[in-house]
Amino acid sequence: MVTELAVQVTPKAVEKAKEALAKRGTPEALLRLGVRGGGCSGFSYVIEFADKQGTRDQVFDFDGLRVVVDPKSLVFLNGTTLDYEVKLMQHGFKFVNPQEATGCGCGESFGVCARPSPLIRPTMTDPFELLGVERRFSLDRAALEQRHRDLSRTLHPDRYVQAPPGERRMALERAVAVNEAFRALRDPLTRAEALLSAHGLAVGDAERPSQSLLMEVMELRESLDDARRSPEKVASLLDQVRARSGSEEALIASVFDDQPAPCPDALGRARDALVRLKYFRRFEEEADAALDP
């Protein structure tokens, strides 16, 4: 399932924006949110009134307040909440952006991570959030590829030829992150790693397998060695292991697709299934190589 990129506006911010529009004498006008290159930290927030909607603007409705965001800005504002903050010495609108890596005291300027790892933290570095897809194991491959194409078009360098240097750099950095996220989610192994990482569990190559798994893989490799002269036997072994891999993927899917907050025991089962899946994947690669020497 693919989710739309979106922003949120708190009830307090909605109230204050409506008051400002009423004072302006244009209660039906739009509130535009955006970003542009420049500012103390490399990028600046934009908030202004608009009398008409752009042809490619995304429109959001918050209790009658219509908020518009252009496609380029929406990529950088995805997940952002517009709030209205009241402090002793000042008050005003505030952008709460989970993608923000650096900021400054002005509250209007920000920067993001240059080269985020797609598997570490469930914020800007969460590949599911970055691509705007539901955090689950079973993903529609066609929908995932379409989302990647859409974001890649939005961030294509040709669209930023006339943009300020800071904005061109930000677009390039985001395009790199989008590609990394797509590579992570299109492969079941790295997709499962991303899900486990989002719950605080990391599975590396040094993860210790069970003795029974090691024995099973050893026996499979011995069978593969014996079957190398017979493509039919190799193909049969490959089919068996692919069926095992499918069972492990189904187990992982049952943990992450059916439970919004898996319990520790369920996460442990998913981690063990991923370890087994990694070993079966290596065997599949060896068997494929035996079929195509």
Which tens digit of pLDDT belongs to each residue from 72-108? 788 788 889 999 887 655 578 888 887 665 445 444 4
H/E run at residue 31: strand 30-37
Place of tokens 């061109």: 168
> Is the pTM above the cut of 0.85?
no
pLDDT exceeds cutoff 70 at 275: yes
Residue with more model confidence, 158 or 267: 267
93 three-class SS: strand
pLDDT exceeds cutoff 70 at 247: yes
Task: Quote the tokens at residue 159.
Answer: 């669209």
Euclidean distance between CA atoms 159 and 182, whole angstroms: 21
pLDDT at 90: 58
User: Which phi and psi angles does 91 have, rounded to 5°?
Assistant: -150, 160
Give Cβ neighbours of residue 179 (< 8 Å, ≥ 6 apart). 148, 152
Rounded to the nearest 5 percent, the helix, strand and coil shares of the chain are 50, 15, 35
Euclidean distance between CA atoms 150 and 144, whole angstroms: 10
pLDDT at 190: 92
pLDDT exceeds cutoff 60 at 149: yes
- Rounded to an integer, the average pLDDT of 241-251 is 94
Between strands 8-9 and 81-86, the pairing is parallel
pLDDT exceeds cutoff 70 at 114: no
What is the band of 238 on the pLDDT scale with cuts at 50, 70, 90? Answer: very high
Place of tokens 């997940």: 79
